[in-house]
């Protein structure tokens, strides 16, 4: 690879990774073909929560769009620069960079002051009134949501929207539950991952609602526990800590809220069981994978066509599993809601199951009868969550 092309693509990697990338243009085609590609415009896009670079190849009579990962984009640029196009301009929030070639393919690089600003959507997100603000927000900076200059990272717009949608949901649940009147809260966030939502929850509870909240993030990966613990210390979040382990290993005891987002397969069931047996006022789960019930499905007669194809069987298993989970919560005295957490634009893992302890005791027998009926309809012998209560 030409050293100038390597330097140019290196700047692209930096800009894309830091959230400073705005766009990249290719021009001055080598070929004199009037019907050939005349220009390429490259912008950042998000497709199902994956960051990509969208190449729009502009011909005289049509435009062709192709989306690439960063690695694929670098490979494509390497093939285009110098051989197909003689001019390229990288626009970032920090600087502009121009790579040009003469007809003998001798390259030249020039830098200049930034001539473009980040897209209005990012600026708009930063200005809107939010449950969580980017202003002077240390943990959002450390987590890469906010970049230099206090701007919202273009690449993290969807994550910032998810954070605020999550806190909006939590706020509504607290208002509609017994937690509204409690000054002290004990909360466990199972599978806290990189901690985006865990930090935001602690911030909102302590600084906006002014509650004395003790929040524990439970995470299997030691490196994430170390990183999150360091950020919590740096931010002075004294009652936010992180515990290495899984749901089953977390010490059982009274808690006010249990959260388990995207816990895989039966880990969601373990979380619901832990929440119920810990007498949690609010249980929040967002399931991921539904393998246990899928293996149990034994559908006959007219319903057999529903699971004749793998993708439909998978979706049916999701519906049946989450229906049964909701009924188990109801059987143990929780008012249950199952809804879309965020739009499908951001992630397909967007179903949230919420149980709020119901002051008015309902007939558990009715819920248990519904569970039995669903199991019979789909030929299910064993439902993991149900079995946890009879051990």
- Do 318 and 209 sit in the same domain of this protein? yes
Is the pLDDT at 233 greater than 70? The verdict is yes
Q: 189-203: per-residue pLDDT in tens?
A: 999 999 999 999 999
Q: Could you say which of 83, 117, 151 is where a domain stops?
A: 117
Q: How far apart are CA 336 and CA 339, in angstroms?
A: 10
Quick check: 223 pLDDT over 50?
A: yes
Q: How many CA atoms lie within 13 A of 376 on its CB side?
A: 6
**Token pair recorded at residue 29:** 């085609």
Question: 3-state DSSP call for residue 183?
Answer: coil
Other Cβ atoms closer than 10 A to 8 = 22
Residue 135 and residue 61 share a domain: no
Q: Note whether 84 and 98 are same-domain residues.
A: yes
Residue spans of alpha helices (H) in the chain: 3-18, 70-80, 120-127, 138-142, 157-175, 196-203, 222-235, 267-277, 291-296, 310-331, 364-377, 384-388
Angle at 235 between CA 129 and CA 238, to 5 degrees: 110
Query: How many domains does the chain divide into?
Result: 2
232/344 Cα distance (integer angstroms): 31
Last residue of a domain, one of 86, 117, 148: 117
Do residues 79 and 131 both lie within one domain?
A: no
In the three-class reduction of DSSP (H, G, I as helix; E, B as strand; rest coil), residue 156 is classed as helix
Q: Are 15 and 98 part of one and the same domain?
A: yes
251 and 364 belong to one structural domain: yes
206 in Cβ contact with 134 (< 8 Å):
no
Query: Where residue 119 falls among pLDDT bands split at 50, 70, 90?
Result: low
55-72: pLDDT as tens digits: 999 998 889 999 999 999
* Same domain as 348, residue 231: yes
Are residues 214 and 87 part of one domain? no
Listed residues 54, 89, 117: the one ending a domain: 117
Measured distance CA(387)–CA(391) in Å, rounded: 7
**One domain for residues 127 and 15:** no
* pLDDT tens column, 304-323: 888 888 888 899 999 999 99
Look at the block and give the residue holding tokens 């919202």. Answer: 152
**Averaged pLDDT for residues 246-274:** 89
> Rounded to an integer, what distance in angstroms lies between the CA atom of residue 234 and that of residue 204?
17
365 and 218 co-located in one domain = yes
Give the predicted TM-score (pTM) of the model: 0.69
Q: Quote the mean pLDDT of the chain.
A: 88
Containing domain of residue 105, as a range?
A: 3-117
């Amino acid at each position: 690879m030409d050293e100038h092309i390597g330097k140019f693509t290196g700047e692209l990697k930096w800009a894309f990774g830091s959230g400073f990338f705005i766009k990249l243009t290719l021009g001055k085609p080598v070929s004199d073909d009037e019907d050939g590609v005349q220009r390429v415009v490259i912008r950042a896009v998000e497709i199902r929560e994956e960051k990509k670079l969208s190449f729009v190849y502009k011909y005289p009579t049509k435009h062709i769009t192709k989306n690439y990962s960063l690695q694929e984009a670098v490979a494509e640029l390497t093939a285009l620069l110098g051989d197909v196009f003689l001019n390229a301009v990288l626009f970032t929030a920090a600087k502009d960079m121009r790579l040009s070639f003469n007809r003998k393919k001798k390259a030249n690089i020039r830098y200049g002051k930034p001539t473009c600003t980040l897209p209005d959507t990012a600026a708009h997100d930063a200005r809107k009134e939010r449950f969580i603000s980017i202003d002077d927000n240390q943990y959002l900076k450390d987590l890469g949501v906010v970049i230099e200059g206090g701007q919202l990272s273009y690449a993290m717009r969807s994550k910032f929207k998810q954070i605020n949608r999550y806190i909006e949901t939590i706020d509504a649940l607290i208002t509609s539950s017994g937690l509204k009147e409690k000054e002290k809260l004990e909360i466990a966030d199972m599978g806290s991952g990189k901690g985006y939502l865990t930090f935001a929850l602690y911030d909102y509870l302590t600084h906006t609602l002014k509650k004395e909240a003790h929040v524990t993030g439970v995470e299997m990966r030691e490196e994430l526990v170390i990183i999150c613990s360091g950020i919590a210390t740096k931010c002075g979040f004294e009652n936010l800590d992180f515990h290495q382990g899984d749901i089953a290993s977390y010490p059982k005891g009274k808690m006010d809220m249990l959260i388990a987002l995207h816990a895989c397969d039966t880990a969601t069931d373990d979380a619901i069981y832990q929440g119920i047996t810990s007498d949690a006022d609010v249980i929040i789960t967002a399931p991921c994978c539904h393998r246990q019930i899928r293996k149990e499905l034994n559908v006959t007669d007219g319903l057999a066509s529903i699971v004749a194809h793998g993708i439909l069987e998978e979706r049916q298993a999701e519906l049946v599993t989450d229906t049964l989970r909701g009924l188990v919560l109801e059987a143990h005295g929780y008012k249950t809601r199952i809804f879309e957490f965020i739009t499908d634009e951001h992630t397909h893992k967007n179903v949230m199951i919420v149980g709020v302890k119901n002051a008015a005791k309902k007939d558990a027998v009715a819920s248990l009868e519904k569970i039995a009926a669903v199991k019979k309809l789909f030929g299910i012998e064993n439902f993991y969550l149900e079995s946890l209560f009879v051990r």
